Structure 1
Amino acid sequence: MPNAYSLDHTVLFYETEMTGQMGIGRLVDLLLLASEGHSDSLGVGSQEVQKLGLGWVITQHQLKVKTLPQRGQKVTVKTQAQNYNSFFCYRDFWLYDEAGQEMASMHSVFVLMDQEKRKMTRILPEVVAPFEVEKTKKVERLAQPQVPANPSNQKNYRVRFMDIDENRHVNNVHYFDWMLDSLEADFLLNHQLIEMNIVYKNEVHYGQEVTSIVQVDDSTTYHEIRCDATISCLAECKWQTR
């Protein structure tokens, strides 16, 4: 049985938005922080992986939100690595309130990237062994987001130095901000995200310009991040009225 890891957290004021609730990007940041803590606790954190010339890269998140935490609220994140195959690792996350009620969950897919070649590489057994996960030949066939066919809006952004992480590309969470910023303020104030399926396809680097494209269909939005003619990221979001 794979081992699990828990992290307690009190929501800080700068993690919340106009609604008083934690922003989606900050929520994913918090979930991934637990993943980092888990790896560090087992002696296979990012620094150790980097010594091998490698880095963990996320290719997909499937996020479900029941309720978003508010400023000052105490929450607990639990994470557990599930299994892996030759190229993909799968991890689950859960967010709980003080009463132990589930607030959100996320299923994520990770790959190892060769930092020099900038290509995906095979999973090294010594990197995943401490998690006590089973190797399988199965490759998950997760649903893919739909490309916006009839865009409702689009915005352009230039990648800043502060957007780049230690893997030398745009940190995945910044895509959330670009995508949601393409929606009107009234929509964001009157709707709460309940599901997001986001797929990362191609890296974006410092100084490049990206375009955030959105299609709004009632309670579903379709998002695309483009860098020139290349699709960098796709997402499909479902919303409910606040």
Structure 2
Amino acid sequence: MVQEFSESQRIVYYDTEITGCVGIGKLVDMMMLISEDHSASVGVTNEKVQSYGLGWVVTQHIVDITRLPKANEIVKITTKAENYNPFFCYRNFWVYDENGKELAKMHSVFVLMDQTKRKITRMQPELIEPFEAEYTKKIERLPLPKGPTVPDKKQEYKVRFMDIDANQHVNNVHYFDWMLDSLGADFLKTHTLKHMNIQYKQEIYYGQTAISEAQVDGVNTYHKIRVDDNPNCVAECLWTNN
């Protein structure tokens, strides 16, 4: 039987944005931390994965938001490794308030990356079986995000040393920040994010210049992060007017 894993966290002021709510990138970071703690609890630590010359890499998140938690709220984050096939692992996340009401949920796709060849490799039994996820031969056909066709917003970001994580490339949370920041303060103050589909395509490294392009179409926005002409990340978002 697939096991759930939960932890509670307090939203502190430095997790929040000018709206007083936690930022979507920070919330996803919190969920990723819970997945790491879950992995460690079943003996699949980062050190064990690295001993195989491998690393977990996220290729896609689909996030649905009822309400973003505010500063000083206690939230419970629950995760479950649902199922896997030879090359992909699918994990779900839920964020609840203190009364057990669902605030957000996320469906994520993970792969194992060969750290030397930088190529996806097959799931290793020793690294996936402890989660008791269901094995399937099927590959999920998730909707792929549409990037901007005619970008009307553009912003450049020089990749700093502080943007790089232990995997030696830009931490995923910065993609969220770059994408949404390009929309500008006026848009972000008057709209609330309800749905985001984000797909990672290629890593970004220290010293490169990331170009964030966005297109606004009413309450829908379309995003692309690229270095030169190579797309690194694509996302589409649905918002509501405040």
TM-score for the superposition, normalised by structure 1? 0.98
Distance in 2, matches of 1:43 and 1:13, equals: 33
DSSP 3-state at the match of 1:71 = coil
- For residues 148-194 of structure 1, give each alpha carbon's deviation from its aligned partner in whole angstroms, at most 9, with x where no partner exists: 11111100111111111222211111100000110120110111100
- CA distance in 2 between counterparts of 1:147 and 1:17 reads 25
Structure-1 residue corresponding to 2:224: 224
The match for 2:56 is 56
The separation in 2 between residues aligned to 1:86 and 1:162, in whole angstroms, is 34
Counterpart in the other structure of 2:70: 70
Tell me the residue number matched to 1:16.
Answer: 16
Distance in 2 (CA, whole Å) between partners of 1:98 and 1:155 is 38
Q: What is aligned with 2:171?
A: 171
Q: Which residue of 2 aligns with 1:236?
A: 236
2 CA distance for matches of 1:170 and 1:140? 27
Q: Which residue of 2 aligns with 1:106?
A: 106
**When the two structures are aligned, how many residues end up with a matched partner?**
242
* Structure 2 residue 69 is the aligned partner of structure 1 residue 93: no
Report the CA distance between 1:47 and its aligned residue: 1.6
How much has 1:51 moved relative to structure 2? 1.3
Identity %: 56
User: What's the Cα RMSD here?
Assistant: 0.7
SS in 1 for 2:87: coil
| C-alpha separation in 2, matches of 1:69 and 1:2 | 27
- Unpaired runs of 5+ residues, structure 1, are none
DSSP 3-state at the match of 2:212: strand
Q: List alignment gaps of at least 5 residues for structure 2.
A: none
The CA deviation at 1:147 is 2.1
Segments of 4+ in structure 1 off by > 2 A?
Answer: none
Partner of 1:130: 130
TM-score w.r.t. the length of structure 2 is: 0.98
Q: Which residue of 2 aligns with 1:141?
A: 141
Matched AA of 1:32: M
Distance in 2 between the 1:73 and 1:36 partners?
A: 22
SS in 2 for 1:109: strand
Q: Counterpart amino acid of 1:66?
A: T
- Equivalent residue for 1:209? 209
What one-letter code is carried by the residue in structure 2 that aligns with 1:134?
A: E
Cα distance between partner residues in 2 of 1:117 and 1:53? 10
Structure 2 Cα separation of the partners of residues 192 and 158 of structure 1: 27
SS in 1 for 2:186: helix
Aligned residue identity for 1:9: Q
Partner-residue secondary structure (3-state), 1:180:
helix
Cα deviation, residue 84, structure 1: 0.5
Aligned-partner residue type, residue 13 of structure 2: F
> Deviation at 1:6?
0.2
State the AA in 1 paired with 2:118: R
